[in-house]
Amino acid sequence: MKLAVAWTIMVTTLLGVAMDGYDCKVVQFIFGDSLSDVGNNDRLSKSLAQASLPWYGIDFGNGLPNGRFCNGRTVADIIGDRTGLPRPPAFLDPSLTEDMILENGVNYASGGGGILNETGSLFIQRFSLYKQIELFQGTQELIKSKIGKEEAENFFQKSQYVVALGSNDFINNYLLPVYNDGWKYSDEGFINYLMETLKAQLTILHGLGARELMVFGLGPMGCIPLQRVLSTSGECQDKTNKLALSFNQAGSKMLKELSGNLPNASFQFGDAYDVVDDVITNPQKYGFNNSDSPCCSFGQIRPALTCVPASILCTDRSKYVFWDEYHPSDSANEIIATELIRKFGFLGRNGTNAPSPGPAVDAPSPGPAVDAPSPGLAVAPSPEG
């Protein structure tokens, strides 16, 4: 009799683990641009915004390009490692399966992508935020088929969401004369257009189950090396920085209102402007000796736009705030992530109470570029984003 009872308890426990195992782990779903891309654009064969060549990835894992627009890790990588969240694979990773999604989440970020569909069209192929949300809807259908509708809804509602776009909407849209938006809108009008669009997108994500979501604001994008070299003085472009500040102010207000109006929503706005600005303005304070030019460039030939095998690397990559004309270095991302964790009080997840660096992950060697995602994924990318 005791054996029968013990057997019944064990079977019930095992069944409980099997049924509830999928909601035990908190994962991330990341929507973003090149600051968060971990390989999606490298698999868009027509995209002009790729990190597929050396020296991208030189300080990450095996040192090969892995799709990150950096010499090492992204800010999202570092924050996830320190708070116990797994690194989500790229949506277009050919090895992506339903089990991987349940264990790690998904990263939909795409270099050149923006809040607006028209942003970044010069790059030919990229995923706009609307497209990334569409791909997320396809992911949801896969998970529903795998574990059932009720368990899937529970899984997605317990997940964490990061939305980190906006800089391309200015740098690769509004501020370029080849785009209509710069002629059509005033500064205030364009930011209102962005806020209306972003509010609609976040409302869709809430309808798809997003409850804990953080929208990251913009840094001083007028101080990236590309903007400096395009100015007459070599200094930061004040107008561009003011646009970033206005975007952050409007975004913070919009997120607060939206979070209060949507049921069970905990939407936060992560304004990191002051953190990044301090790193750029006071580089020595953080151990850097250069915050105005890229580590990977063609020397005096500027702007270099991208990092390629023929590029010249700086002597000490850990001393440069910027890796290329657009993107921070691994060392800068480490500082930024550390300050963000401190500023916003990110808590450990999945049993991680004290934040600690995650283990290094070997970067995969680049595979062939493709026009569509792997066969198991429901939604194929389209050229317009």
Closest CA to 56 of 317, 280, 385: 317
**8 against 250, higher pLDDT:** 250
Element (H, E) at 262: none
Question: Would you state the pLDDT for residue 22?
Answer: 52
Band of pLDDT at residue 24, cut at 50, 70 and 90: low
The model carries a pTM of 0.87
With a cut of 90, say whether residue 164 has pLDDT above it.
yes
- The one catalytic residue in 324, 329, 330, 331 is 324
Is pLDDT at 295 greater than 80 in this prediction?
Answer: yes
Task: Supply φ then ψ for residue 216, to 5 degrees.
Answer: -90, 135
- Give residue 174's region: left, alpha or beta (phi > 0; psi -120 to 50): alpha
Q: How many CB atoms lie within 10 A of CB 128?
A: 28
pLDDT band at 378 (very low <50, low <70, confident <90, very high): very low
Q: Which of 75-89, 107-121, 314-328, 342-356 has the lowest mean pLDDT?
A: 342-356
Could you give the angle at which helices 187-207 and 238-261 cross, rounded to 10 degrees?
Answer: 40
The mean-pLDDT minimum among 77-86, 343-352, 369-378 falls in: 369-378
What per-residue confidence (pLDDT) applies to 10?
38
The residue from 327, 329, 330, 331 that is catalytic is 327
C-alpha dist (Å) from residue 40 to 43, 126, 204, 341, 353: 6, 9, 22, 26, 31
Catalytic residue among 33, 34, 47, 93: 34
Between CA 170 and CA 251 the distance in angstroms is: 15
Q: What is the pLDDT of residue 17?
A: 37
Q: What is the mean pLDDT of residues 228-238?
A: 93
Over residues 79-125, the pLDDT tens digits come to 999 999 999 999 999 999 999 999 999 999 999 999 999 999 999 99
Task: Report the pLDDT value the prediction gives residue 352, as an integer from 0 to 100.
Answer: 57
pLDDT value for 371: 40
Per-residue CA distances from 129 to 143, 379, 385 (Å): 21, 14, 8
Reported as half-sphere exposure (CB side, CA atoms, 13 A), residue 170 has a value of: 25
Helix H or strand E segment including 198:
helix 187-207
CA–CA distance, 309 with 45 (Å, rounded to integer): 19
* Statement: residue 325 has pLDDT above 90: yes
pLDDT at 150 over 90: yes
187 is catalytic: no
The candidate with the shortest Cα–Cα distance to 280, out of 310, 308, 305, 244, is 244
Residue 237 has pLDDT above 80, yes or no: yes
Strand 266-270, strand 160-164: pairing: unpaired
For 206, the token pair is 């809430």
For the segment 167-203, what is each residue's pLDDT rounded down to a tens digit? 999 999 999 999 999 999 999 999 999 999 999 999 9
Sign of the dihedral through C-alpha 69, 298, 290, 247: negative
Told to judge if 327 belongs to the known catalytic residues of this protein, a careful annotator would answer yes
